[in-house]
Structure 1
């Protein structure tokens, strides 16, 4: 019987096998065999050291490698997450770093793989707090001016939020004003992807405060008139989530949203038109303020006529306060609607959908 191999020899053998397979991914004739072997290696990793060395090999693959190599390295993160779950907790930062350095990739298939891997990590590696995963993407959104990186970071974070068992809603609520300022800034290009991210935060209860909705809803309404159809669609979807999640708080904005959605329901792009109409139906289900106001008592109104006069006057005032006119040109949100400082796609498709 041969003596057991030393850890150094095992490590060296693992690195050699992984690197050999990665090189074979560059050749179309050996790509399938190499991908299968890499998946087998990933599934059979057992020790913390083996995880570390495997992840290092993947991480060190540079942008000069061919697209299949870059994509497969990211896909392996999805497989690792699903197979090993919380055993990878000590290595989560390394895995996130591998993803973030791929978000500038010109190949949309690589960026899509990043979104899938982030979703798998969020759902399967749950020992670290959610903020451990979310902060690198938030930081990237804040500082990176690259269009692909902005899209990728926004969509990865949205996927992570939707997949997480406990997405730390309070943390996301504090982040929302920063994202609101970003989406209105001229320097941020990936508006549609960021609006989708905002919608994901709303969808888990991250906008459950009057202060947040008072700037968020007008912001989303402004984007219903964007020249970019993907931004219009994302804004409408986010408004739909506001209507679904925040029925009580949203009632003050019902008239504004109904008016603006009605004016956009015949959008020239079919998929946007359908989204506008679905969102319009959701806002119709939001209770109006008048539905929650009881009939004035005799002590308040001296006569029936007087009571009616008060109601008409109040309704008229509210109507003026929330009146909205659909802008005719491309819009950015006015500065006076910026989120209060203390307020606690690949979505841009390359072909336009059909029209009707």
Structure 2
């Protein structure tokens, strides 16, 4: 029996054992061991086994197969470059999964892939994930696409801020569409674009700030919370270029600090404080504020559960 056949047999045996609670842990551990021991000839065989699973398989199988994409990237890095487009396509297909843990695994694996598979341009992530975001009609898929793209931006060493800047107006238009249901996740994505430098420049800010402020009055408290968190990110990243917006925004923010939802009130207060540190238009110099940590990392998975 060839090494490829041996690998295939081992993987399918483990995938079968994943469905059984008594053998799940051992099978999951063995699959990770196999993934880390692959060579250039057996990587595609292992990947083909992962691709073969679908919605008919049990949830632990679906989750583990997505998780293993991340393990492969951590171990083999740029050796996965030839297979990246197919891996991303497979992950996108799984974003409709009804199980939150599977969709969370998608977000984790995309982050790992962006961090470790760097030989391919960032467009390899940006194009398919943004297309999924703009075309998917199903809410889980929309959430997953937004959070996967956000994770890719956060994980990539060079997320191509110029391309992100061109996409930012499209994200803002999507945010204003009533039929788009994944607005909290989209706001998290916009926060990642801001952190990557995709919102720099007067024109970008002139359109972005009103869009985010408008979202603070959304009927959905999760949207209000996400908008406030994104405005915190904006204040920290683009602090020296927001002076002209400061006065009007602070007036609006003062009215928002009494939100009826406690979680939202807490973020609104943080937002208000972060914007107070923005220099006034008359200030020539102003010391930078202490960094206020963004809770964006944990937010991604919170939205997957709550939506």
State the TM-score, normalizing by the size of structure 2.
0.91
Shift of 1:249: 2.2
Per-residue deviation, residues 283-306 of structure 1 (Å, max 9, x unmatched): 11111223359xxxxxxxxxxxxx
* Counterpart pick for 1:33 among 26, 35, 43: 26
* Counterpart pick for 2:14 among 15, 18, 21: 21
Asked if structure 1 preserves the Cα contact closer than 8 Å seen for 2:130 and 2:145, the reply is yes
Residues 3-152 of structure 1: pairs in structure 2 closer than 5 A: 9-47=2-40, 49-152=41-144
Relative to structure 1, is the Cα distance of residues 35 and 349 closer, same or farther in structure 2, using a 3 angstrom cutoff? closer
**Residue 338 (structure 1) aligns with:** none
Residues 263-302 of structure 1: pairs in structure 2 closer than 5 A: 263-292=255-284
C-alpha distance in structure 1 between counterparts of 2:148 and 2:205, whole Å: 24
Q: Does 1:200 align with 2:192?
A: yes
State the TM-score, normalizing by the size of structure 1.
0.79
C-alpha distance in structure 2 between counterparts of 1:291 and 1:232, whole Å: 30
Secondary structure, aligned partner of 1:152? helix
Residues 247-258 of structure 1: pairs in structure 2 closer than 5 A: 247-258=239-250
Structure 2: runs of 5+ lacking an equivalent: 286-299
Q: Alignment length, in residue pairs?
A: 293
**Residue 340 (structure 1) aligns with:** none
C-alpha distance in structure 2 between counterparts of 1:63 and 1:21, whole Å: 18
Secondary structure, aligned partner of 1:36? helix
Shift of 1:187: 2.3
C-alpha distance in structure 1 between counterparts of 2:166 and 2:305, whole Å: 33
Q: Does 1:348 align with 2:303?
A: yes
Shift of 1:98: 2.0
C-alpha distance in structure 2 between counterparts of 1:217 and 1:209, whole Å: 12
Structure 1: runs of 5+ lacking an equivalent: 294-344
Residues 117-266 of structure 1: pairs in structure 2 closer than 5 A: 117-266=109-258
Asked if structure 2 preserves the Cα contact closer than 8 Å seen for 1:120 and 1:163, the reply is yes
Asked if structure 2 preserves the Cα contact closer than 8 Å seen for 1:244 and 1:282, the reply is yes
Shift of 1:161: 0.9
Q: Moved runs in structure 1, 4+ residues, more than 2 A? A: 290-293, 345-352
Asked if structure 1 preserves the Cα contact closer than 8 Å seen for 2:100 and 2:304, the reply is no
Asked if structure 1 preserves the Cα contact closer than 8 Å seen for 2:143 and 2:304, the reply is no
Cα RMSD of the aligned pairs, angstroms, is: 1.7
Asked if structure 2 preserves the Cα contact closer than 8 Å seen for 1:151 and 1:347, the reply is no
C-alpha distance in structure 2 between counterparts of 1:52 and 1:35, whole Å: 19
Higher gyration radius (CA): 1
Relative to structure 1, is the Cα distance of residues 350 and 10 closer, same or farther in structure 2, using a 3 angstrom cutoff? closer
